[in-house]
Structure 1
Protein backbone atom coordinates (compact mmCIF):
# COMPACT_ATOMS: atom_id res chain seq x y z
CA UNK A 1 0.00 0.00 0.00
CA UNK A 2 1.47 3.39 -0.96
CA UNK A 3 2.36 5.66 1.89
CA UNK A 4 0.23 8.80 2.19
CA UNK A 5 1.76 12.08 1.16
CA UNK A 6 1.17 14.58 3.93
CA UNK A 7 2.85 17.50 2.21
CA UNK A 8 4.03 18.44 -1.22
CA UNK A 9 6.75 15.92 -2.12
CA UNK A 10 8.82 18.59 -3.85
CA UNK A 11 9.08 20.78 -0.77
CA UNK A 12 11.47 19.59 1.93
CA UNK A 13 9.94 19.50 5.39
CA UNK A 14 12.85 21.62 6.65
CA UNK A 15 11.73 24.56 4.46
CA UNK A 16 8.73 25.25 6.71
CA UNK A 17 10.82 27.15 9.27
CA UNK A 18 12.65 29.34 6.79
CA UNK A 19 12.06 33.09 6.72
CA UNK A 20 9.77 34.19 3.90
CA UNK A 21 12.61 35.68 1.84
CA UNK A 22 14.46 32.33 1.88
CA UNK A 23 11.52 30.08 0.93
CA UNK A 24 12.52 30.14 -2.72
CA UNK A 25 15.41 27.92 -1.64
CA UNK A 26 13.01 24.98 -1.20
CA UNK A 27 12.79 24.72 -4.97
CA UNK A 28 16.57 24.62 -5.22
CA UNK A 29 16.44 21.06 -3.84
CA UNK A 30 14.03 19.95 -6.54
CA UNK A 31 16.07 21.61 -9.30
CA UNK A 32 19.14 19.79 -7.96
CA UNK A 33 17.27 16.47 -8.12
CA UNK A 34 16.09 17.28 -11.67
CA UNK A 35 19.66 18.00 -12.76
CA UNK A 36 20.89 14.80 -11.11
CA UNK A 37 18.23 12.85 -13.03
CA UNK A 38 18.67 14.72 -16.34
CA UNK A 39 20.90 12.14 -18.05
CA UNK A 40 18.49 9.32 -17.14
CA UNK A 41 15.43 11.24 -18.29
CA UNK A 42 17.16 12.01 -21.58
CA UNK A 43 18.44 8.45 -21.94
CA UNK A 44 15.10 6.84 -21.17
CA UNK A 45 13.17 9.14 -23.49
CA UNK A 46 15.66 8.70 -26.34
CA UNK A 47 15.62 4.91 -25.92
CA UNK A 48 11.82 5.01 -25.93
CA UNK A 49 11.77 7.15 -29.09
CA UNK A 50 14.37 4.94 -30.82
CA UNK A 51 13.74 1.48 -29.43
CA UNK A 52 15.75 -0.30 -32.17
CA UNK A 53 18.69 1.93 -31.20
CA UNK A 54 18.23 0.94 -27.55
CA UNK A 55 18.31 -2.74 -28.54
CA UNK A 56 21.42 -2.10 -30.66
CA UNK A 57 23.07 -0.46 -27.63
CA UNK A 58 22.41 -3.58 -25.55
CA UNK A 59 23.94 -5.72 -28.31
CA UNK A 60 26.94 -3.38 -28.57
CA UNK A 61 27.75 -3.98 -24.92
CA UNK A 62 27.14 -7.72 -25.22
CA UNK A 63 24.04 -7.70 -23.01
CA UNK A 64 21.58 -10.54 -23.57
CA UNK A 65 18.70 -10.82 -24.13
CA UNK A 66 18.80 -7.33 -25.64
CA UNK A 67 15.07 -6.61 -26.05
CA UNK A 68 14.02 -7.31 -22.43
CA UNK A 69 17.12 -5.50 -21.15
CA UNK A 70 16.33 -2.44 -23.29
CA UNK A 71 12.78 -2.41 -21.89
CA UNK A 72 14.07 -2.84 -18.32
CA UNK A 73 16.57 -0.01 -18.82
CA UNK A 74 13.86 2.37 -20.07
CA UNK A 75 11.54 1.46 -17.19
CA UNK A 76 14.34 1.84 -14.65
CA UNK A 77 15.60 5.17 -15.98
CA UNK A 78 12.19 6.82 -16.26
CA UNK A 79 10.57 5.11 -13.27
CA UNK A 80 13.39 5.81 -10.82
CA UNK A 81 13.54 9.45 -11.96
CA UNK A 82 9.79 9.79 -11.39
CA UNK A 83 10.17 8.32 -7.89
CA UNK A 84 12.96 10.78 -7.08
CA UNK A 85 11.26 13.86 -8.52
CA UNK A 86 7.83 13.10 -7.08
CA UNK A 87 9.19 12.11 -3.68
CA UNK A 88 7.51 8.70 -3.66
CA UNK A 89 10.02 6.28 -2.13
CA UNK A 90 12.74 8.64 -3.28
CA UNK A 91 15.36 6.60 -1.44
CA UNK A 92 14.49 3.50 -3.48
CA UNK A 93 14.64 5.31 -6.82
CA UNK A 94 17.98 6.85 -5.84
CA UNK A 95 19.43 3.49 -4.78
CA UNK A 96 18.24 1.92 -8.03
CA UNK A 97 19.95 4.61 -10.12
CA UNK A 98 23.11 4.42 -8.00
CA UNK A 99 23.35 0.66 -8.57
CA UNK A 100 22.48 1.00 -12.26
CA UNK A 101 25.08 3.73 -12.76
CA UNK A 102 27.83 1.84 -10.97
CA UNK A 103 27.07 -1.33 -12.92
CA UNK A 104 26.79 0.44 -16.25
CA UNK A 105 30.07 2.29 -15.80
CA UNK A 106 31.91 -1.00 -15.35
CA UNK A 107 30.36 -2.20 -18.62
CA UNK A 108 30.65 0.94 -20.74
CA UNK A 109 33.74 2.73 -19.40
CA UNK A 110 36.37 0.03 -18.98
CA UNK A 111 39.29 2.43 -19.37
CA UNK A 112 41.80 -0.21 -18.33
CA UNK A 113 41.05 -2.06 -21.58
CA UNK A 114 40.96 1.01 -23.80
CA UNK A 115 43.68 1.88 -26.29
CA UNK A 116 46.03 4.60 -25.02
CA UNK A 117 44.44 7.34 -27.15
CA UNK A 118 40.97 6.67 -25.62
CA UNK A 119 42.07 5.94 -22.06
CA UNK A 120 42.04 9.51 -20.73
CA UNK A 121 38.44 10.22 -21.80
CA UNK A 122 37.19 6.84 -20.62
CA UNK A 123 38.91 7.25 -17.27
CA UNK A 124 37.20 10.62 -16.82
CA UNK A 125 33.82 9.16 -17.77
CA UNK A 126 34.33 6.24 -15.40
CA UNK A 127 35.02 8.43 -12.39
CA UNK A 128 32.33 10.98 -13.32
CA UNK A 129 29.79 8.15 -13.28
CA UNK A 130 31.06 6.93 -9.91
CA UNK A 131 30.51 10.49 -8.64
CA UNK A 132 26.99 10.44 -10.04
CA UNK A 133 26.31 7.14 -8.25
CA UNK A 134 27.62 8.78 -5.07
CA UNK A 135 25.19 11.65 -5.56
CA UNK A 136 22.31 9.20 -5.72
CA UNK A 137 23.56 7.47 -2.57
CA UNK A 138 23.48 10.83 -0.81
CA UNK A 139 19.91 11.43 -2.01
CA UNK A 140 18.88 8.03 -0.61
CA UNK A 141 20.68 8.67 2.69
CA UNK A 142 19.13 12.13 3.07
CA UNK A 143 15.63 10.85 2.27
CA UNK A 144 15.89 7.93 4.71
CA UNK A 145 17.25 10.26 7.40
CA UNK A 146 14.42 12.75 6.82
CA UNK A 147 11.84 9.92 7.04
CA UNK A 148 13.34 8.68 10.31
CA UNK A 149 13.17 12.20 11.75
CA UNK A 150 9.53 12.63 10.70
CA UNK A 151 8.42 9.26 12.01
CA UNK A 152 10.29 9.39 15.31
Structure 2
Protein backbone atom coordinates (compact mmCIF):
# COMPACT_ATOMS: atom_id res chain seq x y z
CA UNK A 1 0.00 0.00 0.00
CA UNK A 2 2.85 2.39 0.84
CA UNK A 3 4.34 1.91 -2.62
CA UNK A 4 1.00 2.70 -4.26
CA UNK A 5 0.63 5.91 -2.24
CA UNK A 6 4.21 6.95 -3.02
CA UNK A 7 3.62 6.42 -6.75
CA UNK A 8 0.31 8.30 -6.59
CA UNK A 9 1.70 11.32 -4.74
CA UNK A 10 4.70 11.46 -7.10
CA UNK A 11 2.54 12.07 -10.16
CA UNK A 12 2.27 15.54 -11.65
CA UNK A 13 -1.55 15.39 -11.69
CA UNK A 14 -1.62 14.71 -7.94
CA UNK A 15 0.49 17.82 -7.34
CA UNK A 16 -1.77 19.86 -9.63
CA UNK A 17 -4.89 18.60 -7.83
CA UNK A 18 -3.37 19.26 -4.39
CA UNK A 19 -2.36 22.82 -5.33
CA UNK A 20 -5.80 23.49 -6.83
CA UNK A 21 -7.59 22.25 -3.71
CA UNK A 22 -5.20 24.15 -1.40
CA UNK A 23 -6.02 27.41 -3.16
CA UNK A 24 -9.76 26.73 -3.65
CA UNK A 25 -10.94 29.19 -0.99
CA UNK A 26 -8.79 31.95 -2.49
CA UNK A 27 -9.65 31.62 -6.17
CA UNK A 28 -13.34 31.03 -5.48
CA UNK A 29 -13.40 34.14 -3.28
CA UNK A 30 -11.65 36.16 -6.00
CA UNK A 31 -14.14 34.97 -8.63
CA UNK A 32 -17.07 35.69 -6.28
CA UNK A 33 -15.83 39.22 -5.62
CA UNK A 34 -15.62 39.93 -9.33
CA UNK A 35 -18.96 38.24 -10.09
CA UNK A 36 -20.72 40.21 -7.33
CA UNK A 37 -18.68 43.38 -7.30
CA UNK A 38 -21.31 45.34 -5.35
CA UNK A 39 -21.34 42.63 -2.67
CA UNK A 40 -17.56 42.82 -2.50
CA UNK A 41 -17.72 46.59 -2.12
CA UNK A 42 -20.25 46.21 0.71
CA UNK A 43 -17.97 43.66 2.40
CA UNK A 44 -14.94 45.96 2.22
CA UNK A 45 -17.00 48.94 3.46
CA UNK A 46 -18.25 46.80 6.37
CA UNK A 47 -14.65 46.32 7.49
CA UNK A 48 -13.86 50.03 7.07
CA UNK A 49 -11.56 49.62 4.07
CA UNK A 50 -11.57 52.76 1.96
CA UNK A 51 -12.03 53.14 -0.92
CA UNK A 52 -13.88 49.82 -0.91
CA UNK A 53 -13.93 49.32 -4.70
CA UNK A 54 -10.12 49.51 -4.83
CA UNK A 55 -9.88 46.95 -2.03
CA UNK A 56 -12.19 44.59 -3.93
CA UNK A 57 -9.98 44.75 -7.01
CA UNK A 58 -6.73 44.41 -5.06
CA UNK A 59 -8.14 41.52 -3.03
CA UNK A 60 -9.46 39.67 -6.09
CA UNK A 61 -6.20 40.16 -8.01
CA UNK A 62 -4.16 38.97 -5.01
CA UNK A 63 -6.34 35.89 -4.58
CA UNK A 64 -6.45 34.98 -8.28
CA UNK A 65 -2.81 35.69 -9.16
CA UNK A 66 -1.51 34.06 -5.97
CA UNK A 67 -3.63 30.97 -6.64
CA UNK A 68 -2.62 30.80 -10.31
CA UNK A 69 1.09 30.91 -9.43
CA UNK A 70 0.68 28.07 -6.93
CA UNK A 71 -1.51 25.94 -9.22
CA UNK A 72 0.92 26.41 -12.11
CA UNK A 73 3.85 25.64 -9.77
CA UNK A 74 5.66 28.69 -11.14
CA UNK A 75 7.01 31.29 -8.72
CA UNK A 76 5.13 29.30 -6.12
CA UNK A 77 6.97 31.14 -3.34
CA UNK A 78 5.53 34.44 -4.59
CA UNK A 79 1.96 33.16 -4.91
CA UNK A 80 2.10 31.51 -1.49
CA UNK A 81 3.64 34.64 0.00
CA UNK A 82 0.89 36.81 -1.49
CA UNK A 83 -1.82 34.56 -0.08
CA UNK A 84 -0.11 34.12 3.31
CA UNK A 85 0.28 37.88 3.81
CA UNK A 86 -3.31 38.42 2.67
CA UNK A 87 -4.54 35.74 5.09
CA UNK A 88 -2.50 37.17 7.97
CA UNK A 89 -3.86 40.67 7.30
CA UNK A 90 -7.46 39.44 7.48
CA UNK A 91 -6.95 38.47 11.12
CA UNK A 92 -6.81 41.98 12.64
CA UNK A 93 -9.15 43.42 9.99
CA UNK A 94 -11.98 40.87 9.94
CA UNK A 95 -11.36 38.40 12.77
CA UNK A 96 -10.22 40.47 15.77
CA UNK A 97 -11.66 37.99 18.28
CA UNK A 98 -9.87 39.74 21.16
CA UNK A 99 -12.24 42.71 20.74
CA UNK A 100 -15.44 40.63 20.68
CA UNK A 101 -17.91 39.33 23.21
CA UNK A 102 -18.90 35.69 23.52
CA UNK A 103 -20.03 33.67 21.64
CA UNK A 104 -18.44 35.46 18.63
CA UNK A 105 -15.08 35.66 20.42
CA UNK A 106 -14.78 31.87 20.40
CA UNK A 107 -16.11 31.50 16.85
CA UNK A 108 -13.64 34.05 15.49
CA UNK A 109 -10.81 32.57 17.58
CA UNK A 110 -11.28 29.27 15.73
CA UNK A 111 -11.41 31.09 12.39
CA UNK A 112 -8.05 32.67 13.26
CA UNK A 113 -6.64 29.22 14.14
CA UNK A 114 -7.79 28.00 10.72
CA UNK A 115 -6.13 31.00 9.06
CA UNK A 116 -2.86 30.20 10.81
CA UNK A 117 -3.14 26.60 9.61
CA UNK A 118 -3.71 27.78 6.02
CA UNK A 119 -0.60 29.96 6.30
CA UNK A 120 1.28 26.84 7.38
CA UNK A 121 -0.06 24.94 4.36
CA UNK A 122 1.11 27.77 2.09
CA UNK A 123 4.54 27.49 3.70
CA UNK A 124 4.55 23.74 3.00
CA UNK A 125 3.65 24.22 -0.68
CA UNK A 126 6.52 26.72 -0.98
CA UNK A 127 8.92 24.31 0.70
CA UNK A 128 7.76 21.37 -1.43
CA UNK A 129 7.93 23.30 -4.70
CA UNK A 130 11.47 24.46 -3.92
CA UNK A 131 12.60 20.89 -3.36
CA UNK A 132 10.46 19.15 -5.96
CA UNK A 133 12.55 16.23 -7.21
CA UNK A 134 12.22 14.90 -10.69
CA UNK A 135 9.42 12.36 -10.84
CA UNK A 136 10.84 8.92 -11.63
CA UNK A 137 9.29 7.14 -14.59
CA UNK A 138 7.30 4.04 -13.71
Bucket of the pairwise TM-score, normalised by the shorter protein: 0.7 to 0.9
Give the number of aligned pairs.
130
Q: Which residue of 2 aligns with 1:83?
A: 69
Taking the TM superposition and a 5 Å limit, the aligned residue runs for 1:58-137 are: 58-137=44-123
1:24 aligns with 2:24: no
Question: How far has the Cα of 1:139 moved from its partner?
Answer: 1.5
Q: From the superposition, tell whether residues 21 and 69 of structure 1 become closer, same or farther in structure 2 (CA, over 3 Å).
A: closer
3-state SS of paired residue (1:116): coil
How far is 1:100 from its partner?
0.5
TM-score normalized with structure 2 length: 0.84
The Cα shift of 1:22 comes to 5.3
Is 81-90 or 137-146 further displaced after alignment?
Answer: 137-146
Q: CA RMSD in A?
A: 2.1
Whole-angstrom distance in 2 between the partners of 1:99 and 1:82: 16
Deviates more, 1:45-54 or 1:29-38: 29-38
- Inter-CA distance 21–95: structure 2 relative to 1 (3 Å threshold): closer
Structure 2: gaps (5+ residues): none
- The residue number in structure 2 matching 1:7 is none
Q: Give, in angstroms, the shift of residue 24 of structure 1.
A: 3.4
SS of match in other structure, 2:103: helix
Aligned-partner Cα distance in 2 for 1:56–1:127: 26
Equivalent residue number for residue 5 of structure 1: none
State how far apart, in whole Å, the 1-side matches of 2:131 and 2:5 are: 26
Whole-angstrom CA distance in 1 between matches of 2:4 and 2:101: 56
Instruction: Give the unaligned 5+ runs of structure 1.
Output: 1-18
CA distance in 1 between counterparts of 2:116 and 2:6 reads 33
